[in-house]
Chain A
Amino acid sequence: MVKNIIDVKNLSKSFDISSKEAGLKGTIKHFFRRKTKSLKVIKDISFNIKEGEIVGFLGANGAGKTTILKMLCGLIYPTEGSIFVSGYLPYRRKEKFLKNITLIMGQKQQLIWDLPPIESFYLNASIYDLDNFEAKRRIKKLSEMLEIDDELYIPVRKLSLGQRMKSELLAALIHEPNILFLDEPTLGLDINAQRNLRKFLSKYNKETNATICLTSHYMKDITSLCKRVICIHNGSISYDGKLDLLLKKLSPVKEILIVCRSEKDAVQLENAGFIVKSKTKNEITLTVENNFITSALRTILNNFDIEDLYINEPPVDEIIGKILIKKNYDI
């Protein structure tokens, strides 16, 4: 049985937020009497993550995904509840715990700006007590996997965003952590760089059995990496479970686009009792429930003269978008 590597129980986090009215009057009032209120951004959440799992945290901006990651890696203290990551209380930042984890934030960097990334890699290697031989071996292996061999000796400031992100990843993985916290790692990357990064993460997970907690606004990151998702809505968990189950539940229909040989065939198909989503000349789009896809296809192929046929899944972004604005999903 695979053991839980992350255990979170009744976790809450509050921040003191000060507010100020607009204008000069508001500024003066704010200067003499500051109004602060405690805002609960994470509300009593509980979940477990098993070793080797890749879990995607989904939520709208400000839902609390990043705050959860920050608490999991020990960057910030929880207000209430308990967190155990790899058997440690993360916020105590014990050396053994820190050597086991890494955090990558798409918009933050740890590489030294004016030096080539190789310098930061060796620095990180020494921080994590790796000897030179081992550091060299890991840099070689990871740079090959990330395909950045040529960029190692170019100052960071001269690298493209994609090259920089890959270098960040290498710097963050040089100590071969078992748990990766990735906060929007593909932010700002082009499509190819995003795909390469996803490929790398998937390979890293398979080779090392590392646990990966990921937040991203790019649905492709989530769908290609995560089997399980945790949806956060206003600091609470609105769904925790398999991604495909959620997609099936939220989208019980598929669309069939049929290109008929003639407009006449299209009209006949339109009147055959299917739910028609749209029709243009000889093209017709039908909406069919998942359970009836096979029988619907049989009927169409046997009775109509068709030129081409496409089965489309509804866009994942649309479905996920629905989840982000709902409070609860029981599946």
Chain B
Amino acid sequence: MISNLIKRKVFTLLKVQYSNMLEYRVEIALWAISGIIPFFMLNIWTSNNLNEGINFSNVMLSRYFLCAFFVRQFSVVWVVFSFEEDSLMGKISPYLIQPLNPFFRYFAQHIAEQITRFPFALIIAFFFFIFNPESIWIPNLGILFLSTISTFLSFLIQFLIQSIVACLCFWTEKASSIERLLFIPTLFLSGLLAPVISFPEYVKSWIYLTPFPYLIDFPANLLSGNPTNISRGFSMQILWIFLLFPLFKRIWTEGTKKYTAMGS
């Protein structure tokens, strides 16, 4: 009975948000296209033969950056911007007095957006293979399953980090500027611009303690079939979720005490 209610709640939330996202399909297609940074990076790496230094063949590298593109497509988070606007304009007021944490709405919006992005990402991948036919491969089902899980966990970590930052709106009003600070390590340490394996050994040992390499590098290596430490990857992803979730709950509880329902 209770699980049915939860299922229906989740299903309706996703269904409605998906219908809403379809209204913005062109915008979402453009967002998908704007995520092709990994392909530029692939070009820089291969044209300068940088891959030789990390024992990655051209094929391994092109698959890595294609997978980085895919992982990025399905782990992009923008909750801080939506929440900041809604909070400053008082738009979250009606949602705050409903028996559902408003972050579930944002979460559903993200999932719905990912579902909308999926066909566009496939089209981009199709064109990638036309220009790089040697990179075509079919990952086995087990790997596909594990990499889907790790991509979802990566999304969860990023969603929690941004939600924590978003809650700072209750104190600072412009929390998105803090998010911009976090964007720098995310860009450089996540594996979006370069596989983490290319970093010096002593830097790597530190990077692997942070959540960043588990956002892109780990799921992308997993999906592309490149060597990666699967148990460490999953353990660290789960560990970070367990650390971030209570922090989010705490900051949410304290933050809502500060809420002044501005703009209304």
Residues of A at the B interface (CB closer than 8 Å) are: 15, 66, 70, 73-77, 91, 93, 95, 98-99, 101-103, 105, 107-110, 112, 114-115, 119-120, 122-129, 131-132, 172, 183
Q: Mark B241-264, 1 if CB is under 8 A from A, else 0.
A: 000000000000000110111011
The answer, yes or no, to whether B97 is at the interface (CB within 8 Å) is: yes
The answer, yes or no, to whether B200 is at the interface (CB within 8 Å) is: no
The answer, yes or no, to whether B53 is at the interface (CB within 8 Å) is: no
The answer, yes or no, to whether B186 is at the interface (CB within 8 Å) is: no
Give the distance to chain B from A2, nearest Cβ to Cβ, in Å.
25
Structural contact, A127 and B8, CB atoms closer than 8 A = no
- What are 22 inter-chain pairs, A to B, with CB distance below 8 A? A15-B260, A70-B93, A74-B97, A75-B97, A75-B261, A76-B259, A91-B257, A93-B97, A95-B99, A98-B98, A103-B93, A108-B91, A108-B263, A114-B20, A115-B20, A115-B23, A127-B98, A127-B99, A128-B98, A129-B5, A129-B9, A132-B8
Structural contact, B16 and A119, CB atoms closer than 8 A = yes
Q: Tell me the complex Cα distance, A328–B99, Å.
A: 39
Q: Tell me the complex Cα distance, A283–B50, Å.
A: 101
Q: Tell me the complex Cα distance, A245–B100, Å.
A: 43
Give the distance to chain B from A131, nearest Cβ to Cβ, in Å.
8
Q: Tell me the complex Cα distance, A101–B257, Å.
A: 19
Residues of chain B from 93 to 109 with CB closer than 8 A to chain A in the complex:
93-100
The answer, yes or no, to whether B19 is at the interface (CB within 8 Å) is: yes
Q: Tell me the complex Cα distance, A77–B96, Å.
A: 13
Give the distance to chain B from A127, nearest Cβ to Cβ, in Å.
5
The answer, yes or no, to whether B12 is at the interface (CB within 8 Å) is: yes
**Residue of B whose beta carbon sits closest to that of A96:** B99
Contact of B97 among A98, A122, A129 (CB under 8 A): A98
Known contacts: A107-B264, A126-B8. The answer to whether A115 contacts B94 by CB under 8 A is no
Shortest 5 CB-CB contacts between residues of A and residues of B: A110-B94, A126-B12, A114-B23, A95-B99, A98-B99
Number of B interface residues at 8 Å Cβ cutoff, please give it. 28
Q: Tell me the complex Cα distance, A129–B98, Å.
A: 11
Q: Tell me the complex Cα distance, A127–B97, Å.
A: 11
**Residue of B whose beta carbon sits closest to that of A67:** B261
Residues from chain B with Cβ under 8 Å of A129 in the complex: 5, 9
**Residue of B whose beta carbon sits closest to that of A125:** B12
Residue from A66, A129, A172 having most chain B Cβ neighbours under 10 A: A129
Contact of A128 among B94, B99, B261, B264 (CB under 8 A): B99
Known contacts: A99-B99, A126-B12, A127-B100. The answer to whether A108 contacts B94 by CB under 8 A is yes
Contact of A127 among B9, B259, B260 (CB under 8 A): B9
Give the distance to chain A from B17, nearest Cβ to Cβ, in Å.
9
Q: Tell me the complex Cα distance, A124–B94, Å.
A: 11
Q: Tell me the complex Cα distance, A108–B11, Å.
A: 26
Q: Tell me the complex Cα distance, A66–B260, Å.
A: 11
Structural contact, A73 and B19, CB atoms closer than 8 A = no
Q: Mark B18-53, 1 if CB is under 8 A from A, else 0.
A: 011001100000000000000000000000000000
Q: Tell me the complex Cα distance, A120–B98, Å.
A: 13
Structural contact, A123 and B12, CB atoms closer than 8 A = yes
Give the distance to chain A from B171, nearest Cβ to Cβ, in Å.
11
Contact of A76 among B12, B91, B261 (CB under 8 A): B261
The answer, yes or no, to whether B76 is at the interface (CB within 8 Å) is: no
Give the distance to chain A from B57, nearest Cβ to Cβ, in Å.
47
Structural contact, B260 and A76, CB atoms closer than 8 A = yes
Residues from chain A with Cβ under 8 Å of B16 in the complex: 112, 115, 119-120, 122-123
**Residue of A whose beta carbon sits closest to that of B21:** A114
Give the distance to chain B from A17, nearest Cβ to Cβ, in Å.
10
**Residue of B whose beta carbon sits closest to that of A13:** B260
